[in-house]
Chains A and B, each alone.
Chain A
């Protein structure tokens, strides 16, 4: 019973770290319509910056500043946010998919840097002995798991309330206005690049924070944790939960992580050990197909966008022939 409970706590804590990352992505995509294909890279920056700041000093690697965990998390968030700011400043004045290409490239280069800059990142072996919150409780596994879960619940709540407040503010309304009709918003004197850049950087900060929290929860990190599959998992979480909806982002993270973990253990129990790598790739095929199916059949996810007229408006438009979206298409 205790085992089951502590596994439940472990599972939920892991899912909530994804929820934080997903909330950051929701600000970038759901609210602002910016397609970030480099999620894994920004999560990695958050995790590595925080780990370098908080681990004890070690020979042959930069860092080991032994700082408090809170400072590490903030540093991780700021690192990822700053990187997003730079990439956004580079591409947001250009065509919308240049940002996608640039973030994809950034993730590739970050992965290379993690592997090759051994003096900073520890190379392929990564960084170990990352301090855990409430490390002193590690003797009592039940209490330790509960304390970690509580930390993550608080973190998700804080991020959720802060982002919810932001998106309901006049600032958030401008973001949605720009997403829906850029020309109209510009006519009202709102500069699209400035607002999008702010949203992209803040989203990056939240992603980095999630990455940092995850690193401290697992206790060790390596470049292999931040492959493109991670980007894809987080995207699936957001799309399934409902892009534009903060509660959807959290729900999607827990749901998709549950499916992922269950199908993973199914693969491990059904297939013989030598076939497991192949079976794991089938797992990704199925989730890739699922992502495409959601985009085709239910583009607003399970919950859809809350508190705005977007979804009902689109539904009404789809019923009328020669709808608005047709008109927009020819303008592009």
Chain B
């Protein structure tokens, strides 16, 4: 028994946490479980891959690795671009599909179902464009270095952890300290009252998509840097995302991040103790346990 699963779990948990923040925001503000959110992680990763490859071709200097990391400046620049582009993807889907259903007064469950259709279309579109074979940001190999006794990590993994903490603190401050965040929370509490108070609900909805998609893009890119990029990566992450957002309590950003880390750690230790083939079942077990014992989640309010 070593401490190594701790590092793997924290890294994967950060990725799950960033995705779960988007799920929890769409769930609490737009009021439906978005089955297409996993695809935003995949799209974020592929969009960044495309931008970074284009940058690398134009300015070969950007491809040389920065310091101890496996990638050059093209990847961070591509990440910024991809956060924005993935936001545009989410806004386009909302404009084409979810927004129209909302305006038609469709039941919440119709939105859930349409997100399921959108997920299939988005995922298979990626598979059509990029084929199903895995892709990588760089082919450079990284050697993991000891961080603590019995615990090794690559510089990329440590960067993922730091970046995840920075993103969560930024989102938390945005939601609690800014006017935009206040209006988002108001719509989440009571949409009718919020729009009576003069809050532009449509602007809030746009913000939710941009924010959720940007975080998903970062999560997808992180997963691409430390593992690989595949069209099905979002589908594989979907159940952990839902488990984390329910475990953390719907609507709670710190809850989603913390729960994401817990899901990641539980998966890593399951791989260590039981075997890698059962990894995907961990989220389901957590989900069932939460629904049985505390459906409102750790940080959720009782009558959620």
Contacts and interface: CB of A to CB of B under 8 A. Distances in A.
Interface of A: 33, 35, 37, 90-91, 94-98, 100-102, 104-106, 108-109, 112, 115-116, 228-229, 232, 235, 239, 277-279, 281-282, 284-285, 287-289, 291-292, 295-296, 299, 323, 325-326, 328-330, 332
A292 B284 CA distance: 28
B166 interface: no
B113 interface: yes
A96 B113 contact: no
Interface in B230-250: 235, 238-239, 242-243, 246
Nearest to B125: A285
Contact of A277 (B120, B125, B132): B132
Given A97-B112, A106-B284, A112-B278, 13 more contacts: A35-B109, A97-B32, A97-B108, A98-B291, A100-B109, A101-B33, A108-B284, A112-B280, A235-B113, A278-B131, A288-B117, A292-B96, A292-B121
B114 A285 contact: no
B112 A100 contact: yes
A108 B280 contact: yes
B281 interface: yes
Given A37-B35, A106-B284, A90 B292 contact: yes
A11 to B, nearest CB: 24
Interface in B100-149: 100-101, 104-110, 112-114, 116-121, 124-125, 127-128, 131-132
A36 to B, nearest CB: 10
Contacts of A287: 120
B192 interface: yes
Interface in B53-75: none
A315 to B, nearest CB: 13
Contact of A285 (B105, B121, B292): B121
> Which interface class (under 10, 10 to 19, 20 to 34, 35 or more) fits B?
35 or more
Contacts of A332: 31, 108
Given A115-B277, A332-B31, A295 B284 contact: no
B287 interface: yes
A38 to B, nearest CB: 11
B191 interface: yes
Contact of A232 (B120, B125, B287): B120
Nearest to A86: B288
Contact of B288 (A102, A229, A232): A102
B110 A295 contact: yes
B118 to A, nearest CB: 6
5 contacts: A96-B109, A105-B242, A109-B284, A295-B106, A323-B105
A101 B287 contact: yes
B260 interface: no
Given A278-B131, A288-B118, A296 B242 contact: no
Contacts of A329: 105
A295 B101 contact: yes
A51 to B, nearest CB: 22
Contacts of A278: 127-128, 131
Interface string B15-37: 00000000000000001110100
Interface in B243-285: 243, 246, 277-278, 280-281, 283-284
Nearest to B296: A94
A101 B242 CA distance: 7
A282 B100 CA distance: 24
Dominant SS among interface residues on chain A:
helix
A95 B118 CA distance: 22
A175 to B, nearest CB: 15
A281 B127 contact: yes
Contacts of A100: 33, 35, 109, 112
A105 B127 contact: no
Contact of A326 (B35, B100, B105, B127): B105
A299 B106 contact: yes
Most A CB within 10 A of own CB, among B32, B110, B118, B284: B284
Given A101-B246, A105-B284, A296 B101 contact: yes
Nearest to B281: A109
Contact of A281 (B101, B110, B124, B243): B124
Q: List 6 tightest A-B contacts by C-beta distance, closest first.
A: A288-B121, A325-B105, A291-B117, A288-B120, A97-B33, A105-B284
Given A235-B113, A332-B31, A288 B124 contact: yes
A284 to B, nearest CB: 4
A83 to B, nearest CB: 13
Contacts of B116: 37, 232, 235
A35 B105 contact: no
Contacts of A282: 124, 128
A85 B20 CA distance: 28
B188 to A, nearest CB: 13
A91 B295 CA distance: 9
Nearest to B238: A104
Contacts of B277: 112, 115-116
Contact of B287 (A95, A105, A116, A292): A105
Nearest to B116: A37
B97 interface: yes
B235 A228 contact: yes
A89 B246 CA distance: 18
Nearest to A286: B121
A101 B246 CA distance: 10
Given A288-B124, A299-B110, A94 B291 contact: yes
Contact of A35 (B113, B117, B292): B113
Contacts of B239: 104-105, 108
Contacts of A91: 291
